[in-house]
Structure 1
Amino acid sequence: MDPKNKRPLKIHLVCSTDSPEFAHLTQSLTRSLLVALDAEWKPIRAHQSHFPTVTLLQLACQLGPRLGADPDESAESEDSVTFLVDLISIPLSSIWELLRDVFASPDILKLGFRFKQDLIYLSSTFCAQGCDPGFDRVEPFLDITSVYNHLQHGRKTSKQIKSLATICEEVLGFSLSKELQCSDWSHRPLTEEQKTYAAMDAHCLLEIFNIFQAKLVKEGSYFDNITKPVTPNVNLGLKEVLEKHDMSSKILRIKSCEALSIVRATAFDFLQIIATVEGMVSKSSCRKTMPMDESLLKVVKKYGEKILLKESDKKPKATKKKGKRRLSAGVICREKRLEDFDNWRGPAQWDLSLGGDGCPKFLCDVMVEGLAKHLRCVGIDAAIPYSKKPESRELIGQAIKEKRMLLTRDAKLLRYEYLIKNQIYRVKSLLKNEQLREVIETFQLKISEDQLMSRCTKCNGKFIQRPLSTEEAVEAAKGFQRIPNCLFDKNIEFWQCMDCRQLYWEGTQYHNAVQKFIDVCKLNE
C-alpha cells in the first residue's frame, strides 16, 4: 500500500451552527453518496418511564465530487469525513430540518446498525425541545446486519444476531471494543477516546458496505454496465486511527487479514459517475444534492429497506402494573445487605492474618475480562472463567477452588455472598484504566515498576527466569509463532511464558505499555 495514498480518519465536532464545522457538514451533505448513522446517549436505569436523551449524533459521509468541480480537483479532495453533532451544545431547532431532509432524501443511501431504536430516541429528544413531530422515517436505508447476512451467503450462520464488534472482526479484520459504550455521553467535554470511539462506530459501517459492494462487483450481477476502476484514494482510515491512538486497549485491535485491500482492488469509481443535474429544484426551495448514481440505485433496488416509525413506537412501553411497587421489609433488608456488601471492607483471603500467602489472586468474570489483562500487565495473578458463558455457580465454584477474589460488575452475583463471603467485589468503574486504579486502591495492592509486564497477558502464566537470545527465541518459535525479521538486527531480549510458551520481546510496543502502566498506577509520583 502506498503511504502517500493513506489518509487519516477525519473527525469534526459540530457544536454550533456558526462554526466552520457546521458549514463543512452542510456542504458535505450536498455531496454525500452514503451517510452512516449512529447515536449515543447516557445510559438510563431499567424500567424508566421515558426515553433517554440523545446527546451525540454521528454522521460518516462518503462523498462524491463537488458539483461543477474540475475532475482533477475532485480526485484530490477528501472522499469521506465523519461528523459528531453535539446535541447538547447546538440548538436542535436549527438542525431539525437539515437532518429530516437527510433521513428522507432519495439521493442518499443511509447505513445503520439496528438504527430504529436510535431513531426513536432521537425523535423523542427533538420533540422534547419543541421540534414536533420529530423524525418518523429513514429511507432509502440499509442495515449492516442485512449486509452481513448477504456477505455470509452460502455459509451456515447462527440465528443469534451478531454484534457490530463481531461483524467488524469477521468482515474487516478489526474488532471494535465496546468499552466506552456505557460511558456518560452527557458529560462535556468529550474525551478524545470518546470522540474516536463514536466516529469509528459510524465510519466502520462505510467500510463494511464497501466490502459488500466490492463483492457485488466481483460477482458482476448488478454492475455489468460500469467498467471504470476505482481511484487509489479511497479513504479507509482505520489503520491511521490505530497509529494515532493506543487503540489496542481502547477502541480497535488489528487482525492479520487485510480485508480492506479487497475494496481497493475491486470497487468501482463511484465518485466519477454523476447523473445530470438538469431539472433540479432551485436552491431557494430545496437543499441541492447530487442525484444517486447508477451503481447505488441498483443496490437500493435490490437490497434497500426503510425505517418507518408508528405512533406507538414513539411512546415508552407502559409497565404492566400501575403505581409504585411496594417493597416488603424483608426485600428492603436484603437489598440493604447487598448494598453494604457492595462496599468492600476486607480483609481478603490472601491476607497473612487469615493464613494467606500475601499474594493477591483475582477471578474476573466476563463483564470485566479486559481488567484481567490490565492486572496481568502490572504483575497481578488474574484468571478468567473456564467457559465463555459461565453460570453463577460455576464462577463461584472456580473462585472457591482457586482461592481467588471474584471481580464482577454484575450486582446479581452479590446475592451469593453467603456462599462466597469476603471473596466477591463489584467493580464500579466502567473503563479499564479506572477499573485497575479502583482495584489497586480498594485492595491496597503494592505495584512496583519491576512487576510491570511480568505475566503473560494471554494465559496469566509467568515468564521464564532469564531472557532468551535471538537464536533461542527463533528455535522456540518454530512451528508456533512468527518473529518479525526486523528484530534480528536489534539487540532485543525475548521472554517466554512457562505455561503457553508464547514469546514476547522488549520492542516499542513493550516500552509504550510500560510507560502507560507507570502513568495509570501513578508510579512516577
Structure 2
Amino acid sequence: MEANEEQTEEQSSSSSSLSIHFVSSVDSPEFTLLTSAVSLASVVGLDAEWKPVRESQSTFPTVTLLQIACRLPGNRTDYLSGDSPVFLLDLVALPLSSVYALLNALFVSPNVLKLGFRFKQDLVYLSSTFRSQGCDPAGFDKVEPFLDITSIYSYLQQKQSGRKPSKQTKSLAAICEELLAISLSKELQCSDWSQRPLTKEQKIYASADAHCLLEIFDVFQNKVINEENSIYNNGHSSSSPDPGLKSILEEPSGESGILKTKFSEALEIIQATTASEYYHDISSAFRVVSPLGKNTVCLDNSLLQIIRKHGDKILLKESDREPKTSKNRGKKKSSVGMVHKEKLPEFFDDWQGPSPWDPSLGGDGRPKFLCDVMVEGLAKHLRCVGIDAAIPYSRKPETRELIDHALKEKRVLLTRDAKLLRHGYLLNNQIYRVKNLLKNDQLLEVIETFELKISEEKLMSRCTKCNGMFIQKPLSMEEAVEAAKGFQVIPSCLFDKKLEFWQCLDCHQLYWEGTQYHNAVQKFIDVCKLEK
C-alpha cells in the first residue's frame, strides 16, 4: 500500500548511469583515463573506504579504496563516457608509490576544487596508509581549495529558512534525500573493503558516495549563481572574483605557480610510465585542446567566486598523525571485573533458540523482533512481510536500553554488532547477529533462521512507518480524506479512482493499493520465493 512517500521501494542514486572506472594497475587503460581526467577536472568529489576496525585498535585503519569523481568540461567527455566519471583506485593492488605524486598534486592543485563529506578523517587514514608503505614521511597533509558538503548544506538550509542552522550534522544520506530527492543506501558501509574482488554492489555503492558530492555541489552552485544574477538584475553591481586570488591562480611564478608545476610534473611522470597503444590513442585525442602534462584547466569565475566566499582547506597537524588513545589506557584493571569477565559463558553467532514467543515458554507464537540501528532497514523489510519488527526508542540507544526493550516486550534483538553478543547472558535466547549485508539477504536469513511462515496474504499488512497494524475495515475516498485532515495530503489524481484506503491504528498513516503497492508486493513475492 502506498503513502505520500513509499517506504518500501529502494531507490537508486542514479547509479545505473554512473561511468565507473576500476583502477587496479598503472599499466591499465583505466589509469590512463584517470590521469587525463584529473588534468581536465575543475571539481572532484573525494571519498575513501577501509575495513572497519575495533575502537580499541591502536593503529589507523588501512584505506583500501579511494574514490575520485571528476566534473569535466562539456567538450572533453567523448573519451570518458560522461561528464562526471568516477574512478575507484584499488589501493590493495596499486603500488602506492606510483600514485602518491599524482594524488598529492591533485590535493593541493589550485585549479581543482575538492569536495568531501567530513573528509579530514579520510585524509588522516589515507596519509597513514601511504606513509606505512614508505611514501613521503609527511604523507598527505593538505587539501586546498576544499569545500565540505556539510558547509554547503548549512548554507542552503540557512538561505531557505532564514535561520541559523542547528549544530547537529546530518548524514550524507539524509542530505541527498533532502537536496537531490534520492535515496543513498548505506547498507554496505560496514562491509569488508579489504576483500577482493569487490562485488558489483560495492563498486556502485562506493561510486555513488563520491558522485553525489558533485550533484550536491551543482545544487549549491546554481543557487549562488541565481542569487548573484538576482542582485545584478536589481541594479546592483555583482561582485567579481577577488582580483588578488585570481591573479595568484593565474600567476606563473610564486607558490601557486609551483603547485601548478608540480601537478604537471606528476602527470608527466605518470605519462612516461604508462606507455601503451591505448594510452597513445587517448592522450593524442586530448592533446587537440590541452596537451596532457602541460596544462590543467583553470577555474572559471563562478568557481573562483565560490572558493573566495566559501572555500576552505584541510591541514593535518602533527597530533593528527597518531591515533587517539583511550584515557583509561594503561590503568590497572580491577581484579573483580576480570574475574567476572572470566565467568561469563561463551556465546556464538548462530541462533541457539528457543525464541521467547515459543508457546512452550508461555509465548503467544507470534514472532517479534527489535532491530538496532545497524539493521534498521531490515525492520522495514520485516514489516513488509507482516512480521512485528520494532526499532529502538531513541536514535542512539545505550546498550542497557536495548536490553530492557527486548526483555520487556519479549523480542529477539537483531544486530550486526558482535560486541552486543557479550550481553547474551542477560538476553538468554533473545539476541542474534545478522551475518548478511544486503537487506534482501538479511530478510531471507532471518526467515530461515527463525523458520518464519510468510504468505502473500501477510504482505504489506503492517505500517512500514511505525510497525502498527492496519484497521480491519477499509476506508472509502470520502472517509480517507476526512481521516487525513491535518497531517497527510491525498494526491488529487486519486480522486477519480475507485480505491480503498487503509489506516494504521497507531500513527494513523493512510495507505492505498496503487502501483507502488503492487510493485512492492511482487518484490517480496520474488524475494521470499512465494508461490502464487
TM class, shorter-length: 0.7 to 0.9
Quote the offset at 1:115 in angstroms.
1.1
User: Retained in 1: the 8 A contact 2:100–2:135?
Assistant: yes
Matched residues in 1 for 2:408 and 2:323: separation?
46
Q: Which residue of 1 aligns with 2:202?
A: 194
Matched residues in 1 for 2:462 and 2:124: separation?
46
Q: Which residue of 2 aligns with 1:216?
A: 224
Quote the offset at 1:127 in angstroms.
2.7
Report the TM-score when normalising by structure 2: 0.74
Deviations along 1:377-413, one digit per CA (max 9) or x if unpaired, are: 1211122334444455554444444333333445666
Quote the offset at 1:25 in angstroms.
2.0
Residues 463, 517 of structure 1: CA spacing in aligned structure 2 closer, same or farther, 3 A cutoff?
Answer: same
Quote the offset at 1:186 in angstroms.
1.5
Quote the offset at 1:32 in angstroms.
0.7
User: Retained in 1: the 8 A contact 2:225–2:302?
Assistant: no
The residue identity in structure 2 corresponding to 1:28 is A
Would you say 1:375 and 2:382 are equivalent positions?
yes
Q: Which residue of 2 aligns with 1:361?
A: 368
Matched residues in 2 for 1:481 and 1:36: separation?
37
Residues 414, 99 of structure 1: CA spacing in aligned structure 2 closer, same or farther, 3 A cutoff?
Answer: closer
Deviations along 1:131-188, one digit per CA (max 9) or x if unpaired, are: 3343222111112222233334442333333332333344334453432211111222
Matched residues in 1 for 2:333 and 2:296: separation?
57
Would you say 1:29 and 2:38 are equivalent positions?
yes
Would you say 1:347 and 2:365 are equivalent positions?
no
Quote the offset at 1:476 in angstroms.
6.4
Matched residues in 2 for 1:430 and 1:31: separation?
37
Instruction: Note the residue ranges of structure 1 that are not aligned, 5 or more in a row.
Output: 1-5, 226-275
User: Retained in 2: the 8 A contact 1:40–1:56?
Assistant: yes
Matched residues in 2 for 1:332 and 1:490: separation?
69
Q: Which residue of 2 aligns with 1:10?
A: 19
Quote the offset at 1:36 in angstroms.
1.0
For residue 448 of structure 2, the aligned residue among 422, 438, 441 is 441
For residue 311 of structure 2, the aligned residue among 304, 316, 323 is 304
Quote the offset at 1:125 in angstroms.
1.9
Instruction: Note the residue ranges of structure 2 that are not aligned, 5 or more in a row.
Output: 1-14, 234-248, 253-259, 270-292
Size of the alignment, in residue pairs? 467
- Of Structure 1 and Structure 2, the greater helix share is in 2
**Matched residue SS, 1:116:** helix
Map 1:71-90 → 2, pairs under 5 A: 78-90=82-94
User: Retained in 2: the 8 A contact 1:417–1:424?
Assistant: yes
Residues 337, 428 of structure 1: CA spacing in aligned structure 2 closer, same or farther, 3 A cutoff?
Answer: farther
Quote the offset at 1:313 in angstroms.
2.5
For residue 165 of structure 1, the aligned residue among 159, 170, 173 is 173
Matched residues in 1 for 2:325 and 2:397: separation?
33
With CA pairs under 8 Å and 6+ residues apart, which has the higher RCO, 1 or 2? 2
Quote the offset at 1:50 in angstroms.
2.0
Percent identity, please.
Answer: 68
User: Retained in 2: the 8 A contact 1:31–1:66?
Assistant: no
Matched residues in 1 for 2:526 and 2:339: separation?
42
Residues 321, 496 of structure 1: CA spacing in aligned structure 2 closer, same or farther, 3 A cutoff?
Answer: closer
Matched residues in 2 for 1:77 and 1:386: separation?
46
Residues 414, 321 of structure 1: CA spacing in aligned structure 2 closer, same or farther, 3 A cutoff?
Answer: closer
Residues 413, 97 of structure 1: CA spacing in aligned structure 2 closer, same or farther, 3 A cutoff?
Answer: closer
Matched residues in 1 for 2:423 and 2:81: separation?
60
**Matched residue SS, 2:219:** helix
Would you say 1:455 and 2:462 are equivalent positions?
yes
User: Retained in 2: the 8 A contact 1:222–1:298?
Assistant: no
User: Retained in 2: the 8 A contact 1:51–1:316?
Assistant: yes
**Matched residue SS, 1:379:** coil
Would you say 1:120 and 2:124 are equivalent positions?
yes
Matched residues in 1 for 2:53 and 2:408: separation?
37
Q: Which residue of 2 aligns with 1:137?
A: 142
Map 1:234-253 → 2, pairs under 5 A: none
Would you say 1:432 and 2:439 are equivalent positions?
yes
Report the TM-score when normalising by structure 1: 0.75
**Matched residue SS, 1:462:** coil
Per mean C-alpha deviation after superposition, the further-off stretch among 278-287 and 495-504 is 278-287
**Matched residue SS, 2:466:** coil
